[in-house]
Amino acid sequence: RTVVTIPSIHAAYAQGTPLSMITAYDYTSARLAAGAGVDMLLVGDSLGQVMLGYDSTTQVTMHEMVHHCAAVTRALDGAPQQAPHRPLVICDLPFGSYTRPDAAVDNGVRCVKEGRADAVKLEGGVHAPAVIDQVTSLVAAGVPVMGHIGLTPQTASAMGGYHVQGRSEAAALKLLEDAMFLQEAGCFAIVLEMVPGKIAEHITQQLSIPTIGIGAGAGSSGQVLVFHDVVGMFDKFVPKFSKQYAQAGAIIADALRSFHADVQAGAFPTKEHTFLIKSAVLSSFRE
């Protein structure tokens, strides 16, 4: 059984092995992702849009994060033959749950204790949203932290929407500063979201912790995508940076249409789906 840990993530990074991370929000998808050998599962607050139908991640609560995180980590328990690969699980701290260091620690501890996460992720750096003291306090409390800079969805509205970040020299320098401070504060890795490829590559070269890119080109230490984008199950919006490796949504829709049509036509269930009893029992039952 291979168990992914923060030291094993750092060992892979030191060897130049690219790291894979995918979002997971429930038991079934977590089992699929673990079975595929993915290095890290992110219980992302993108579950607000993908699982709960909110129009922003800002509505997601701590209760919802812990509820989904616990479902994900339950999928990784069990006998080695049933779960031969255990990815590292990172739980997003939702908007408003880390406004002060003590709140960050309380909520980070909930992710570990109730959600059974290995680590948490929060958005921001040394500039607004400023989270360096929160990172320091979480790490001191024994909660490993993944940073997240560039496009930070929890404050996207203040940033004027979902736009590429770090396109000007000043903006790119701020990103580099954020990354350096997050590393100094003790983050074990940093997500770079929607950053020009060359900027992400430069930041990655300056750091001694791995970067995980999303819409950040090929120069990061690893890549993260949203589960539903990868399998083709979210058709409301397909970001330029994501890749659909399957059209699972279309396959599922087909299956559901067939089920409905079969029921209407009386073609399901048949004898093979039906439980039988002895005819003698049936006769006396009917009398």
Does 64 help bind Na ion (rule: CB under 5 A)? no
Q: Which stretch binds ligand KIV (CB under 6 A): 2-10, 41-49, 173-181, 249-257?
A: 41-49
**Distance in Å, CB of 52 to ligand KIV, minimum:** 12
Does the active-site annotation cover 64?
no
One character per residue 45-84, x = contact with ligand KIV (rule: CB under 6 A): xx--------------------------------------
Select the residue interacting with ligand KIV from 60, 91, 179, 214 (CB under 6 A). Answer: 214
Instruction: Compute φ and ψ for 147, nearest 5 degrees.
Output: -85, 170
Select the residue interacting with Na ion from 45, 64, 178, 229 (CB under 5 A). Answer: 45
Q: Which two tokens stand for residue 234?
A: 């979210």
Does 39 help bind ligand KIV (rule: CB under 6 A)? no
21 in Cβ contact with 38 (< 8 Å)? yes
Q: 247-283 burial by CB neighbour count: b if 16+ within 10 A, else e?
A: ebeeeeeeeeeeeeeeeeeeeeeeeeeeeeeeeeeee
Which amino acid, residue 138? L
Catalytic member of 184, 193, 201, 287: 193
Does 92 help bind Na ion (rule: CB under 5 A)? yes
Select the residue interacting with ligand KIV from 92, 118, 178, 229 (CB under 6 A). Answer: 92
Residue with smaller CB distance to ligand KIV, 153 or 196: 153
Residue with the closest Cβ to Na ion? 44
Length of the chain: 287
**Distance in Å, CB of 6 to Na ion, minimum:** 19
Binding partner at 72 among Na ion, ligand KIV, none, C-beta below 5 to 8 Å by kind: none
Q: Which two tokens stand for residue 85?
A: 């690969």
- Where on the phi/psi map is residue 278: left (φ > 0), alpha (ψ -120 to 50), or beta? beta
Does 119 help bind ligand KIV (rule: CB under 6 A)? no
Residue with smaller CB distance to ligand KIV, 83 or 156: 156
Closest CA to 29 of 233, 263, 264, 284: 233
CA distances from 111 to 47, 68, 83, 92, 171 (A): 15, 10, 22, 9, 32
In sequence order, what E strands does the chain have?
2-3, 19-23, 40-43, 85-86, 88-92, 119-121, 145-150, 189-193, 211-214, 222-225
Binding partner at 91 among Na ion, ligand KIV, none, C-beta below 5 to 8 Å by kind: none
Chain contacts with Na ion (rule: CB under 5 A) = 44-45, 92
| Active site (catalytic) residues | 193
Chain contacts with ligand KIV (rule: CB under 6 A) = 23, 42, 44-46, 92, 191, 193, 214, 224, 226
